[in-house]
Amino acid sequence: MDATSLDESTTTDSASISPPTFTPFPPTKSPPESLCRVGSGTSVIFDSESGIEAESRKLPSSKYKGVVPQPNGRWGAQIYEKHQRVWLGTFNEEEEAAKAYDIAAQRFRGRDAVTNFKQLAEAEENDIEIAFLDSHSKAEIVDMLRKHTYNDELEQSKRNYGLDVNGKRIKVEGGVNSFGSDRVLKAREQLFEKTVTPSDVGKLNRLVIPKQHAEKHFPLQSGSTSKGVLLNFEDVTGKVWRFRYSYWNSSQSYVLTKGWSRFVKEKNLKAGDVVSFQRSTGPDKQLYIDWKGRTGASVEKAVEPVQMMRLFGVNIFKIPGNGVDKMNGGCNGKRMREMELLSIECIKKQRMIGAV
């Protein structure tokens, strides 16, 4: 079953910069399952000589890139990398196979990849899918495509990230019940920590990520180096922070830019404080961010009132952002965390709502 071992070393980039004319496909839910062939090409011919109908051994070729016909009338999807074919699975519908190819193309060749329909870059709503693709290995994506679980996984990832409308930070906790909490107990690995410098919390509105850590944990894709990508990090309150992450040629450094200053402000970060980055060890590869006061010093975190309301049977937390003039004391970092965690509970899981 396992064929090519997919390595992640796709450093090469000579992307053909020819934006394809793409037709953004609608949120197709469940396409018909008819097996009739409407594609291009002929699969049946008449042998007028003998008067018998004969199956042409010639299979109908697909109009879509990366899509090949299967003997049984279905469609296969494949993509090539490093002289080798990577099989993406078989599909009933030609378009499904084409979509699978598109997804793989985006993951294997970056945002500018030539695709059948998709063009992820640009639109804000696609940030999540881009982040989703970036946070999964090629092998994982291929596996999802072959098992036809890509959309489910993507949807689930969206739930975890939390939906936000026009930058509002609202997080719907979908799987937390007291201490059996999926999220709270989710295994995560420490990636690295950085003691922030004055400039990291100053007017430059950026955090420099030490090169060694950046390249190890947040490898940038080919074309994305300059433009950067948007990464989502969840903090201990469940709030999702979205930072632009890119490489600055001028200073030869990796940085978190857009969104970072908000974090500094809300958390009241000071030079000498330590920010740490984690990632869940599960398949979702969720990123987390946390901070603590300068090691040794007892610092008080700025505690913000957390508003909560019940809506559609789900608790929704609204965490105030600006105007964080703290007016409470007595809680050090550790204590604060417990309080935050304790306030999140008693919600049934409600994932996989739109499962196919």
Partner DNA sequence: CGATGTGTTGAG
Partner DNA sequence: TCAACACATCGG
Q: Are 295 and 276 in contact (CB under 8 A)?
A: no
Tell me the one-letter amino acid at 304.
Answer: E
- Which residue in 85, 334, 335, 349 binds DNA (CB under 7 A)? 85
Q: Which two tokens stand for residue 151?
A: 């959309």
- Which residue in 15, 90, 222, 244 binds DNA (CB under 7 A)? 90
The Cα–Cα gap between 356 and 29 comes to 8
Q: At what angle do helices 126-134 and 94-109 cross, to 10 degrees?
A: 70
The answer to whether 11 contacts DNA (rule: CB under 7 A) is: no
Nearest to 161 by CA among 152, 173, 151, 150: 173
**283-119-155-9 Cα dihedral, nearest 10 degrees:** 0
The answer to whether 79 contacts DNA (rule: CB under 7 A) is: yes
The answer to whether 72 contacts DNA (rule: CB under 7 A) is: yes
Sign of the dihedral through C-alpha 188, 194, 195, 199: negative
Q: How far is the CB of 226 from DNA (least distance, A)?
A: 23
Q: How far is the CB of 28 from DNA (least distance, A)?
A: 20
β-strand pairing of 52-55 with 67-69: unpaired
Q: Which two tokens stand for residue 299?
A: 């610092």
Q: How far is the CB of 130 from DNA (least distance, A)?
A: 21
The answer to whether 58 contacts DNA (rule: CB under 7 A) is: yes
Q: How far is the CB of 268 from DNA (least distance, A)?
A: 49
The Cα–Cα gap between 77 and 20 comes to 19
The answer to whether 146 contacts DNA (rule: CB under 7 A) is: yes
The answer to whether 114 contacts DNA (rule: CB under 7 A) is: yes
Q: Which stretch binds DNA (CB under 7 A): 68-76, 189-197, 266-274, 347-355?
A: 68-76
Q: Are 268 and 324 in contact (CB under 8 A)?
A: yes
- Which residue in 89, 110, 162, 259 binds DNA (CB under 7 A)? 89
The answer to whether 69 contacts DNA (rule: CB under 7 A) is: yes
Q: How far is the CB of 62 from DNA (least distance, A)?
A: 6
The Cα–Cα gap between 310 and 317 comes to 9
Q: How far is the CB of 157 from DNA (least distance, A)?
A: 24
Q: Which stretch binds DNA (CB under 7 A): 78-86, 174-182, 205-213, 319-327?
A: 78-86
Contact residues for DNA (CB under 7 A)? 1, 3-4, 57-59, 61-62, 64-72, 74, 76, 78-83, 85, 87, 89-90, 114, 146
